[in-house]
Structure 1
């Protein structure tokens, strides 16, 4: 068992949100009961996740995508009212960490995705050093982008969109989970053979064909399932809490 302030302090010390320029508030977003015995983690603070937390008798929910974002409509109506009403009715704390959870060198989304895909981190790049550079663990190359895509599909359990670039072996890889397709140009400049992220927009297919660097879109949700459960498991072990990860399916 722990208290809300103790859990918030532990999460803030671990993830260091003050280091990041982010798109919304990191930390405690909705205040619930002061004593915490059981925590539910999930990718997004959706109604389905909150309903699952109620069913699990959770005292706190930890997510990557919280309720509040820069520039959104501030009125509490519709989907926002339903989510907030359920949290408040059951006195459940909501903690959300966005970029800090992507970036943590051991428990973050990018570090966890590297382990899931068998990649070794050799460096970082991009805005706020969020994205990773690396290579296949053990030094072996993938035969080509299609082989890397098949590997990612098997590891993540979902289809991968692959624009193969110039073809040939994949030795140097860059990646950033979620909606990081805008990092592709920086990855190309870093001299990699392939870049993996969650989503693809219209320009990236052209950049891949013209630069020769493969682009793989592996799913926003699929690439960001791992960090939040790793962080939640870490603090649960520290404080002796019960922890349940709830994976609300999302095709994005």
Structure 2
């Protein structure tokens, strides 16, 4: 068991959210009971995850995508009211960390996604140094990388081939980081992996020769929250369970 305040201080020190200019508040978003015995981790604070966490007797939920984002009008109505009401009635705290959870060098989404593919970054790139880049190692072809991503995530990525060059440098940034493609090219990447693709990236890949793989927003961001929650649980003597809520995105 740990006090909620102790958990909050632990995560604050671990993830250093004050370092980031983000799209919403990081940290405790909904305050529940003062003592925590069990933490459930997940990707997004959906009603399905909240219900599953309540059924699993969780005292807190740790997610990457929280409830509150820049541009919302702040009214607790509809789907947002339903989620907040469920948390408050059950006394369950919600902690959410967005960019800090992407960026952590060992436990973050980018670090863990890279580790799933046998990649290790030796440099960062892009806004707020969120992009990771490193040597390809034994991944010498786009086909081999595509196969490894498919096997790791259980789904085939959308691929835009480059010019067929050997893959010596691989860049990646999980989630909706397609806008980092140009920065990855400038950093010397032969291929860039992220969650999503928009219209411009296909043309950039064809014109620059740098390949692009869109691996799924949810699929690439399944790794950070359970890694952080597991570390939290081990450090403070808590129980932990990762609950997967399927998402085709």
Matched, 1:194 2:191: yes
Give the CA deviation at 1:141: 3.5
Deviation per residue, 1:98-153 (Å, 9 max, x gap): 000000000001100111000121100110101101123xx3232x2222111101
Matched, 1:50 2:69: no
Deviation per residue, 1:174-229 (Å, 9 max, x gap): 00000000000011111211000000001000000000000000010010000100
Matched, 1:146 2:143: yes
CA distance in 2, matches of 1:151, 1:58: 34
Q: Contact conserved, 1:173 with 1:192, CA < 8 A, in 2?
A: yes
Gaps of at least 5 residues in structure 1 are: none
Give the CA deviation at 1:77: 0.9
CA distance in 1, matches of 2:12, 2:31: 16
Give the CA deviation at 1:74: 1.3
- How big is the alpha-carbon RMSD for the aligned residues of Structure 1 and Structure 2? 0.8
Where do residues 117-136 of structure 1 align in structure 2 (5 Å cutoff)? 117-136=117-136
**What is the TM-score normalised by the length of structure 2?**
0.98
Where do residues 30-109 of structure 1 align in structure 2 (5 Å cutoff)? 30-109=30-109
Where do residues 224-235 of structure 1 align in structure 2 (5 Å cutoff)? 224-235=221-232
Of 208, 211, 221, which residue of structure 1 is paired with 2:208? 211
Q: Contact conserved, 1:124 with 1:130, CA < 8 A, in 2?
A: yes
Gaps of at least 5 residues in structure 2 are: none
- Show structure 1 runs of 4+ deviating over 2 A: 139-142
- Count residues with an aligned counterpart: 249
Give the CA deviation at 1:56: 0.3
